[in-house]
Chain A
């Protein structure tokens, strides 16, 4: 596997030998920040195009096909439209909170975005509590949603925001417990260590039955956290106009839109990292020739391949099931996912204690 840290270390050494430490660090911070923000936008644009194409295919349509070959510039055109639109000031809103809310949503997802391991040696933040960090900052976004609903001074926005809050509080439990199951198996919360632990076999296969159950529960809970159909109650068009972002226009609406797609990406990449080995290629113990061939595929491609696969699953779910009612939504979490998850965690602990994993 090519280790990208050779490049990053070389740049670091080059800057430190030519500049005082403060300026070297300052340049590195700025460069890393710019790269994160640029990646954030590019991935969001790609995701929007990807989603529109896939959802069109599920509905027997072709999707965007006019702007550029196969419509690949459609989301760029949408972005330009969004950028030149007016931000309409609304009377009788709490101005400060109203303008603050989109940044909360956006910053929460950028913070989580920074901790994702992109490839071998391509990780910006590698805490020893990586999973915990990602879970906590990605759920900060709901504060932004609640603020948006509250500050809009609008019944529908408020209901949408409250639903979003209830939904996130419920499903965060399941997501956390499902990840905890794998933390029990791996014995570490640091993302790089977890990926290293999946060198021979991904955790999904190492932990067999409890890991598969945790994987499915994490996908359901993560899907619900991103507020996307069939869990899109906070922005249910037919009931609440557009939910918490009814009053937003122009770039502010764009921020919500961007954050929604990036949250989908973040959930998919956490699932890929924790259950499917992140950038780690598919290795089978004993088949050395096969493993060597798999190692030739760059780690970044492995990562993106897994993430795209998981997002396909997410879109498939989105276009298959009708929207849940709010009580059914809470039923699903509190009566089904949570008890199953707790039993599953116990099973995983037993499996780990007796060493029944691969």
Chain B
């Protein structure tokens, strides 16, 4: 008698647990779909996360000034030789010691592995990665960028 009782109880238990499964999938059927329709939504609903490392940039402020001191630590830390910092010596206006300033900041996007070591080691926080990821081009030479803008100079720190 016990086994018959268990048999009947097991049927109802099974039906109950199956119904629970149905409930979950039924809810899932009406949830918002997570598919990204990429080329269509790139201007509308596409969200790239802020920490995504897409491309190295050197931010310039409104006076066309950057924070790079041309120390070359990023170049030394880069595992792939992606960065090349070319500096030049400039005579000080007041006749003091000549000063080393940035001439060209070459960055080869094609070689970069986006390891972030350059940004982590930069003492003056002059460079960072931005989240633009549409980096495909037709020729490799287009990936070789110069990060500092034409005629830009280093931001002078306030002495006082």
- A83 CB, nearest partner CB in chain B, Å: 29
Q: Is the CB of B33 within 8 A of A61?
A: yes
A96 adjacent to chain B (CB < 8 Å): no
Known contacts A316-B25, A320-B21, A321-B18; decide if A60 and B11 are in contact (CB<8 Å): no
- A278 CB, nearest partner CB in chain B, Å: 26
A56 CA to B33 CA, complexed, in Å = 9
What is the chain B residue whose CB lies nearest that of A319? B25
A22 adjacent to chain B (CB < 8 Å): no
Interface mask (B20-39 → A, CB under 8 Å = 1, otherwise 0): 01101110110101110100
Known contacts A320-B21, A321-B18, A321-B21; decide if A65 and B37 are in contact (CB<8 Å): yes
A119 CA to B26 CA, complexed, in Å = 31
A23 adjacent to chain B (CB < 8 Å): no
Interface size on A, residues (CB 8 A): 14
Which residues of B (2-56) have their CB < 8 Å from a CB of A?
Answer: 11, 18, 21-22, 24-26, 28-29, 31, 33-35, 37
- A69 CB, nearest partner CB in chain B, Å: 13
A91 CA to B155 CA, complexed, in Å = 77
Residues in A neighbouring B31, C-beta threshold 8 A:
60
A285 CA to B34 CA, complexed, in Å = 46
A340 CA to B12 CA, complexed, in Å = 13
Q: Is the CB of B37 within 8 A of A62?
A: yes
A127 adjacent to chain B (CB < 8 Å): no
A319 CA to B25 CA, complexed, in Å = 8
- A220 CB, nearest partner CB in chain B, Å: 10
A57 CA to B11 CA, complexed, in Å = 30
Question: Per a CB cutoff under 8 Å, which of A56, A58, A336 touches B25?
Answer: A58
Interface mask (A306-336 → B, CB under 8 Å = 1, otherwise 0): 0000000000100111000000000000001
Residues in A neighbouring B29, C-beta threshold 8 A:
57-58, 316
Which residues of A (39-89) have their CB < 8 Å from a CB of B?
Answer: 56-62, 65
Interface size on B, residues (CB 8 A): 14
A321 CA to B28 CA, complexed, in Å = 14
- B108 CB, nearest partner CB in chain A, Å: 35
A319 CA to B35 CA, complexed, in Å = 18
Residues in B neighbouring A62, C-beta threshold 8 A:
33, 35, 37
Q: Is the CB of B33 within 8 A of A60?
A: yes
Q: Is the CB of A336 within 8 A of B18?
A: no
A307 CA to B23 CA, complexed, in Å = 22
Residues in A neighbouring B25, C-beta threshold 8 A:
58, 316, 319-320
What is the chain A residue whose CB lies nearest that of B10? A336
Q: Is the CB of B33 within 8 A of A320?
A: no
Residues in A neighbouring B28, C-beta threshold 8 A:
58-60
Most buried by A among B25, B26, B33, B37: B25
What is the chain A residue whose CB lies nearest that of B34? A60
What is the chain A residue whose CB lies nearest that of B40? A65
What is the chain B residue whose CB lies nearest that of A62? B35
Q: Is the CB of B34 within 8 A of A320?
A: no
Question: Per a CB cutoff under 8 Å, which of B11, B22, B35, B37 touches A320?
Answer: B22
Which residues of A (207-232) have their CB < 8 Å from a CB of B?
Answer: none
- B44 CB, nearest partner CB in chain A, Å: 15
Q: Is the CB of B34 within 8 A of A61?
A: yes
- B20 CB, nearest partner CB in chain A, Å: 10
Q: Is the CB of A61 within 8 A of B35?
A: yes
Residues in B neighbouring A316, C-beta threshold 8 A:
22, 25-26, 29
Residues in A neighbouring B34, C-beta threshold 8 A:
60-61
A320 CA to B35 CA, complexed, in Å = 20
A320 CA to B25 CA, complexed, in Å = 6
Told that A320-B18, A320-B21 touch, could you supply 7 new A-B pairs with CB distance under 8 A?
A58-B28, A58-B29, A59-B28, A60-B31, A62-B35, A316-B22, A336-B11
21 A-B pairs in the complex with CB atoms less than 8 angstroms apart? A57-B29, A58-B25, A59-B28, A60-B31, A60-B33, A60-B34, A61-B33, A61-B35, A62-B33, A62-B35, A62-B37, A65-B37, A316-B22, A316-B25, A319-B25, A320-B18, A320-B21, A320-B22, A321-B18, A321-B21, A340-B11
